[in-house]
Structure 1
């Protein structure tokens, strides 16, 4: 790697599926890399799990192996902590990492609710460390192109409606009550796991602003609750100008179409294909009958785009990222809180004052 790009040394917290995807992407040899990423340490619930993870995903490398998280936080060779634990553990993991003076990239949903997020951001502010929610989809070149086309270039005119659904048969019935997908104390349900992506596309498609600069839509929401968690959620976002975004999620069924989001405007529409979390391409259709398909090269899954952005921010001395600032994370969680308030899904942590 060239010395002209920053180097960031990562400590990985938890060795589940999302962490494996993240690590696999960071060690790819990319021609357009904006940063050099080193997996410096692996922390898991046991040293055997951490060692097995490293052997599978970091062949030929020699990260420090720890059978707990505290030693990762304390490792002086680690610059930043990547948190891939269940939602309910994020607040504690973030606070522990911040307390050790580490920068943090924490998976979505950042915390269980907006109140927890505010606590974490206040701690980061006091310590002066970088922290960001790992909403990787926002950093895709595809996503940035869609946003530019509809909001800056106004390619489809005035935005009128946005639809996004994320459905995935997660075989809920076959899982034990201790699963993160079924235990409300771990943030179970479709909304925080996959519905957050539908909501994200609804927001990005409807409004060019983020965080404090964004419009605040009214929410109308319904949820199907099973064993204390939502298996399906639908919400309508209504903006002051009459624009609507209809977003939904389900962990009981698989989608029947690869079109996961449609953004409709006065002069045409855009169909986005793939997974809501990892879109593959989109097609622009204009009312004059013309169309254009936009495709993007994507080695691996695409986690490196957010990781590169984090590295550049830290190298520049910034503690927030402009694509996913703290205020945007809080705004999204406030909307998720309201959807759950109307829909009925509750977490034990919601009652903690």
Structure 2
């Protein structure tokens, strides 16, 4: 990897209520109706300047049910050979779309949305590989449209505070970081988590969360060493990453679909350390220790399910005419996919999209 990329990471909006309007109302279209789409729909409804305008699904009945449950104005299913998402994108009333499909479909759908003139928030992982990510970024920039990867944890109060503490110098020079996230996911070859054609596996689905703790405190690494267990379907069920930095720092990250873990993160410097309490993708407590005996705990409340913060960022940026977020820049998404491409090469994971 290249040298660490200097990014702000800290949001100027972190002390404001994300529900409060920051400009004119935007009409949202939601593509897909799974669990993450449902959670985001609930939090979108909390924003004073967001309208749940349209939803799409393969089945019209599924789209209708989602619309009825979450108060969405229009519902589009597949019809006459035209995909539901294509019908939604043809609706001139849609300002911005949230793409919540499996990873392998992101490139096709996001590109179609950009070609239709829509701003886009795309669920992580951004794409299957760096090539696809670069193509989407070029398309968005060429059309002067907003595009962002939906790494919701990056905007949460607890995560923002952890980055702030690390950057403040209170912990001194950061020399090591550890983070883990795991849960036993019941195996099914057709499940999104396990289907190779969907980009299934621990790396693309959950490794971004441990990785955030490294990127937000140390930046992108110079070296990446990876090991992992790949099942008979060619899907990684567990991986361990070691990141190396030129400034005498290193990181250990673990992601697993096989077992529970403590779901903790530690950021350690020569003056002190901090540890997250609660799952690392939504930390509600931070323990900060300096010296030998000084210790404090900071607590954080989260509005809604926690997606309100990234949704506010997208809304604010579009209202202000920005084409990418200064807190979640597109270059970070591209470099994350490059890092993941390197990891996959080491552990032996490929996807059908890699051949395109």
| Distance across 2 between alignment mates of 1:320 and 1:220 | 30
State the shift of 1:2 in Å.
7.4
1:184 to 196, 207, 216: 196
1:234-313 residue pairs with structure 2 within 5 A? 234-255=240-261, 257=262, 259-313=263-317
Report the secondary structure of 2:207's partner residue: helix
- Report the 3-state secondary structure (helix = DSSP H, G, I; strand = E; otherwise coil) of the residue aligned with 2:127: coil
**How far apart, CA to CA, are the structure 1 residues paired with 2:325 and 2:160?**
15
1:194 aligns with 2:206: yes
Matched residue, 1:325: 329
2:74 is aligned with 1:64: yes
CA separation in 1, counterparts of 2:22 and 2:33? 31
Q: Which residue of 2 aligns with 1:155?
A: 170
Task: Give me the whole-angstrom Cα distance separating, in 2, the residues matched to 1:44 and 1:4.
Answer: 30
**Given that residues 13 and 85 in structure 1 are in contact (C-alpha distance below 8 angstroms), is that contact kept between their aligned partners in structure 2?**
yes
Partner Cα separation in structure 2 for residue 145 and residue 154 of structure 1: 13
Gap change, CA 1:189 and 1:4, over 3 Å in 2: closer
TM-score (norm. length: structure 1): 0.90
**Deviation per residue, 1:216-273 (Å, 9 max, x gap):** 4201100100021001000100001120011110001112x3x521111111111112
Aligned counterpart in structure 1 of residue 54 of structure 2, from 32, 38, 41: 41
State how far apart, in whole Å, the 2-side matches of 1:124 and 1:74 are: 18
User: In the TM superposition, what are the counterparts of 1:1-353 in structure 2 within 5 Å?
Assistant: 5-28=23-46, 36-56=49-69, 58=70, 61-67=71-77, 68-151=84-167, 153-172=168-187, 175=188, 177-207=189-219, 215-227=220-232, 228-255=234-261, 257=262, 259-352=263-356
* Matched length: 331
Aligned-partner Cα distance in 1 for 2:241–2:67: 41
Give how far 1:276 is off: 2.5
Residue in structure 2 matched with residue 211 of structure 1 by the alignment: none
Shift of 1:4: 5.8
* 8 Å Cα contact 2:241/2:254 also seen in 1: yes
Whole-Å separation in 2 of the counterparts to 1:113 and 1:100: 23
Rounded to whole Å, the distance in 1 between the matches of 2:24 and 2:182 is 38
**Alignment check: 8 A CA contact 1:278 1:301 kept:** no
Q: Deviations over 1:321-340 (max 9, x none)?
A: 01111100011111111111
SS at match of 1:12: strand
Give, in angstroms, the shift of residue 62 of structure 1. Answer: 4.7
Distance 1:248 1:2 in 2: 37
Instruction: For 1:316 and 1:102, locate their aligned partners in 2 and report how far apart those are by CA, in whole Å.
Output: 16
**Which is further off, 5-14 or 223-232?**
5-14
Residue deviations 1:292-339 (CA, integer Å, cap 9, x gap): 111112132110101111111111111010111110001111111111
Please report the TM-score for the alignment, with normalisation by the length of structure 2: 0.90
- RMSD across aligned C-alpha pairs, in angstroms? 1.5
Partner of 2:12 in structure 1? none
Q: Distance in 2 between matches of 1:264 and 1:184?
A: 36
Asked if the contact 2:264–2:277 (Cα under 8 Å) also holds between the matched residues in 1, the reply is: yes
Pairwise CA distance, 1:148: 1.3
Q: CA deviation at 1:3?
A: 6.9
Query: CA offset at residue 37 of structure 1?
Result: 1.4
Provide the rounded CA distance (Å) in 2 between the counterparts of 1:273 and 1:104.
Answer: 32
**Residues in 1 aligned to 2:97 and 2:190: alpha-carbon distance in whole angstroms:** 26
Counterparts of 1:2 and 1:204 in 2: how far apart (Å)?
26
SS at match of 1:279: coil
Cα distance in 1 for residues equivalent to 2:154 and 2:283: 10
SS of alignment partner, residue 277 of structure 1: coil
Structure 2: segments with no counterpart, 5+ residues: 1-18, 78-83
